[in-house]
Structure 1
Amino acid sequence: MVSGHSNVRGAWRTQDRSWIGWRFVGPFMAVFALVFLAPIAYSIYLSLFRTRLIGGTVFVGAGNYLDVLRDPQFWSAFTRVAVFLVVQVPIMLFLALLIALAIDSGRLYGSAFFRIAVFLPYAVPAVVATLMWGFMYGTRFGLIGNINQALGVSLPDPLSPGLILASIGNIVTWEYVGYNMLILYSALRVVSPSLYEAAALDGAGQLRIIWAIKLPALRGALSIATIFSIIGSFQLFNEPSILKALAPNSITTYFTPNLYAYSLSFAGQRFDYSATVAIVMGVITMVIAYLVQLRGTRKAV
């Protein structure tokens, strides 16, 4: 009888231990399903229907997706953020790389203060940063206007249709250079000092050390920073949304895909089509980020 009771207790203990892991991850999984999986599932559900003035809501299957692929406003917004990505992301990552290398070199005077100063803009909320830069861009009330008045010149309007994308790129670069710098600098800090010592004994200079040791060590970190930057570029929303009030002639309701989806949903009450735009952009972003990650992995191998 004692042996039988022991076996039962042992079975219960084994079963109880098997649930210990789920007890730890259970709260996270519940929140993850509630705030991430459920909205995606609901968006997919909305994208399969269309609300009409006559006939109400009807099931259209892939009809909304076909409309998005034929929508010139969507492709105009997508092309704009693609150009933004191709131009702004390399500039931002190049600046972050230069700063990270400068700080890691140990030759930069006041490197601790400089590191904090470069990272500080990332701590500024995007809304505050955009309002601040929007004020400086102003030709009537801001810094550009004050310079024009003080010097008697006529500087180009940063909020004009031809310069608005570059102005937004400047804001985003100012915000995220420090963030990417920290990723790259952290990767440099884990490089073994013995590699630098061996290179110095072989007579390698700083440029040779950077090219042969530091840049290969940064390959993974650069890949991660690039993926994050691609995702952020395709999600561009805060900056154009806030600047729209200051430059209504330069920023349309379909300036970026996210702004287009927002306008469709909250101004046009087209929730089904807005959800479709969001899903299409999510798939495009996922595919491009995966291809970049795959290319980075192959180079590392």
Structure 2
Amino acid sequence: MATATTPSGTGVPVRSIRSRRSLAPYGFLAPAVVLFAAFLAAPILYALYLSFRKAEVKGLGLGSAGRTETWAGLGNYTRALSDPEFLASVGRVALYGLVLVPVMMALALVLALLLDSGRTRVGGFARTSIFLPYAVPAVVASLLWGFLYLPRVSPLVDVLEAVGLPAPDLLSPDLVIFAVANIALWGGVGFNMIVLYTALRSVPGDVYEAARLDGASDVQIAWRIKVPIVAPSLVMTFIFSMIATLQVFAEPTTLRPLSNSISSTWTPLMKVYRDAFVRNDVYSAAATSVVIALVMLVLSFGFLKLVGNRAFDQEK
């Protein structure tokens, strides 16, 4: 019986070539799947496992039998959801998000519209200048702004006093949340602006020319044409900003040595860090982490369900 060959006559069975081609995509995906499983899926599953466990100490807790791990059920979740420190941190982050996200999205949209209008002669320089703070690590940015916030060393205080204006104490309990939000605003506007600006640049110029021929002004074009077009990008950047808000950690942690207004549980993630690495209670920290992840999931999908369908329908 003759062996089925390829048209080139190499003598390799066609069935073997087809099987190799069918396995090739999985070979390319294998490294990504392994990395995902090892560094993302496995830690998540382990944290979920720890959230249902607890440590029981017998006697002085010395030796291998002095500390055992047992089943805790929902006890860790009950403690996390009833912890006043955790609830207070959630309230602070909610206020932080209400201050930060709308202002950041509004500034990013306005800057993207201004750059897309073509009225700026230094568009490339402006885009780079606005985006550059995003490339600065959060810890470095917090140190820079912390230097500007300290009344004794800040040059801004000297400038305000020179013109006869009082210098506010931005690290006081009443203003520290705005000080932290300002750092995130400084670094986040550029990223969101680039995303929205890229979406605007993908629109054919004929659409704007037709609107101008119909007598539409630049403001009308921006509000009635450009904003609806970038609605999917607005939804995406809003969800990213909301997730980043719930995960705020580096900025308040870096500013904490500079101010007594920031406690070790100022945000939910700071509480997780304290429980895990200061109190050595990884079980409570795991349960709190799972709660935070579930809240992010619910808020993200809830917002996407609420406004996503309308925004993406306009794109069709």
TM-score normalised by length of structure 2: 0.90
Distance 2:234 2:279 in 1: 40
Could you say which residue in structure 1 is the equivalent of 2:238? 226
- Which of 156, 165, 168 does residue 177 from structure 2 map onto? 165
Q: In the alignment, does 2:102 pair up with 1:90? A: yes
Could you say which residue in structure 2 is the equivalent of 1:53? 57
Say what the alpha-carbon RMSD is for the aligned residues.
1.9
Could you say which residue in structure 2 is the equivalent of 1:10? 14
Could you say which residue in structure 1 is the equivalent of 2:198? 186
Q: Is the 8 A contact 1:138 1:144 kept in 2?
A: no
Map 1:1-301 onto structure 2 (within 5 A).
1-3=1-3, 9-54=13-58, 56-147=68-159, 150=162, 154-247=166-259, 249-300=260-311, 301=313
For the structure 1 residues 273 and 187, does the alpha-carbon distance in structure 2 shift closer, same or farther, using more than 3 Å as the test? same
Greater shift after overlay, 8-17 or 168-177? 8-17
Amino acid across the alignment from 2:56? R
TM-score normalised by length of structure 1: 0.94
Q: Is the 8 A contact 1:160 1:250 kept in 2?
A: yes
Shift of residue 64, structure 1, vs aligned partner: 0.8
Shift of residue 143, structure 1, vs aligned partner: 2.7
3-state SS in 1 of match to 2:248: coil
Distance 2:71 2:139 in 1: 38
- Measured against aligned partners, the alpha-carbon deviations of 1:167-198 in whole angstroms (never above 9, x if no partner) come to 01111000110110001100100112111111
Q: Is the 8 A contact 2:161 2:167 kept in 1?
A: no
Greater shift after overlay, 182-191 or 67-76? 67-76
Distance 1:201 1:146 in 2: 53
Q: Is the 8 A contact 1:137 1:143 kept in 2?
A: no
Q: Is the 8 A contact 2:247 2:269 kept in 1?
A: yes
Amino acid across the alignment from 1:77? S
Q: Give the total of aligned pairs.
A: 300
Shift of residue 240, structure 1, vs aligned partner: 0.4
Greater shift after overlay, 83-92 or 144-153? 144-153
Q: Is the 8 A contact 2:235 2:304 kept in 1?
A: yes
Amino acid across the alignment from 1:101? L
Distance 2:57 2:176 in 1: 37
For the structure 1 residues 152 and 202, does the alpha-carbon distance in structure 2 shift closer, same or farther, using more than 3 Å as the test? closer
For the structure 1 residues 23 and 197, does the alpha-carbon distance in structure 2 shift closer, same or farther, using more than 3 Å as the test? same
Amino acid across the alignment from 2:17? R
Shift of residue 76, structure 1, vs aligned partner: 0.8
- Measured against aligned partners, the alpha-carbon deviations of 1:214-242 in whole angstroms (never above 9, x if no partner) come to 01111001001100000000000000000
Q: Is the 8 A contact 1:227 1:289 kept in 2?
A: yes
- Measured against aligned partners, the alpha-carbon deviations of 1:124-157 in whole angstroms (never above 9, x if no partner) come to 1111110000000001222344346656764221
Shift of residue 51, structure 1, vs aligned partner: 1.4
Shift of residue 205, structure 1, vs aligned partner: 0.8
Shift of residue 162, structure 1, vs aligned partner: 0.9
Shift of residue 41, structure 1, vs aligned partner: 0.7
Distance 1:279 1:167 in 2: 28
Greater shift after overlay, 154-163 or 225-234? 154-163
Amino acid across the alignment from 1:274? A
Greater shift after overlay, 48-57 or 273-282? 48-57
Q: Is the 8 A contact 1:199 1:209 kept in 2?
A: yes
Distance 1:219 1:166 in 2: 28
